[in-house]
């Protein structure tokens, strides 16, 4: 039997949830509970939650059938309101896919991986080539120092000029590879900000802080990976300098997960250590003779 005004007995009822909505949300349990309408478990309850700015929201639920507002319906209302709030993306995957183009995540992920690999190969080629040139020069100097070779100023000048010319592309390849590495990480992670906002709408507008974390986090991650990679490449010829780079790289990879505060600490520490070891220390020893 139906109640007055086309509502079932006990309707409408109110349920208070400990979160708010940016806009009015309607949850139709007849769409979410997929059972035959003749089944005793079938519900046609509809809950409406208004937009609010407080700490909680009071939703109004109603339905035309006798059991649309009983204890079972009230229990399910709380369950489905929670699911709609925190897992709505799974409940409306088809609609969300059309609206937010979730399938494009695969495209950006693949593009990001391509950029990362191109950058990685550019850094490898540039730094390994430079290490080979430096090792050859070190070997020539060692042989001259041990009197296995006689120093020829003209030939030495020619070889040094050849080495300098061979290393001209190095800054472009290394810096360009690092930028591609960073852009690749950004391409892979940026689309997931939208997914996070869809998966966890209870977190509010996550797009703003998520994009900040993605841009800053990927930059630090790319820099720390670059330092680690360059340190490993140079470990065969400049061990102490390589150890400094490897330590900074590993520390950056760990601190990037600690949030913005730890990232700022790492950036300040990295700048200080790099300046101290590669600029101030050599100048100091050169002045001391």
Side by side, the strands of the sheet bearing 46-49 are 13-17, 57-62, 46-49, 25-28
What pLDDT does residue 88 have? 65
d(C-alpha 239, C-alpha 219), whole Å = 26
**Model pTM greater than 0.75?**
no
Question: Does residue 166 register a pLDDT over 50?
Answer: yes
pLDDT band at residue 196 under the 50/70/90 scheme: low
Residues 238-260: tens digit of each pLDDT: 888 889 999 999 998 888 777 77
Average pLDDT over the chain, rounded to an integer: 79
The tokens for 127 are: 């730094």
Mean pLDDT over 138-167 rounds to 76
Q: What Cα–Cα distance (Å) separates residue 174 from each residue in 60, 239, 264, 285?
A: 61, 20, 24, 28
**Is the four-CA dihedral 248, 250, 254, 256 of positive or negative sign?**
positive
d(C-alpha 221, C-alpha 228), whole Å = 10
């Amino acid at each position: 039997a139906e109640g007055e005004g086309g509502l079932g007995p006990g309707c409408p009822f109110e349920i208070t949830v400990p979160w708010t909505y940016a806009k009015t949300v309607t949850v139709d349990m007849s769409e979410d509970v997929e059972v035959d309408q003749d089944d005793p478990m079938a519900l046609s309850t509809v809950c409406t939650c208004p937009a609010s700015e407080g700490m909680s929201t009071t939703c109004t639920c109603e339905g035309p059938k006798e059991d649309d507002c009983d204890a079972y319906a009230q229990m399910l209302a709380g369950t489905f309101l929670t699911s709609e709030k925190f897992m709505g993306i799974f409940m409306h995957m088809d609609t969300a896919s059309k609206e937010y183009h979730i399938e494009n995540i695969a495209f950006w992920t693949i593009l990001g991986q391509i950029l990362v690999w191109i950058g990685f190969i550019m850094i490898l080629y540039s730094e390994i080539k430079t290490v080979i040139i430096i090792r050859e020069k070190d070997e020539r100097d060692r042989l001259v120092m041990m009197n296995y070779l006689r120093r020829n100023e003209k030939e030495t000048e020619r070889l040094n000029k050849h080495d300098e010319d061979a290393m001209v592309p190095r800054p472009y390849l290394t810096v360009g590879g690092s930028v591609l590495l960073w852009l690749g990480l950004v391409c892979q992670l940026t689309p997931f900000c939208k997914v996070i906002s869809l998966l966890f709408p209870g977190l509010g507008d996550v797009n703003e802080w998520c994009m900040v974390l993605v841009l800053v986090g990927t930059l630090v991650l790319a820099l720390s990976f670059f330092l680690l990679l360059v340190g490993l490449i140079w470990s065969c010829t400049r061990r102490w300098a390589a150890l400094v780079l490897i330590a900074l790289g590993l520390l950056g990879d760990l601190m990037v997960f600690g949030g913005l505060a730890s990232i700022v600490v790492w950036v300040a520490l990295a700048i200080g250590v790099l300046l101290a070891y590669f600029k101030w220390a050599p100048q100091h020893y050169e002045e001391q003779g």
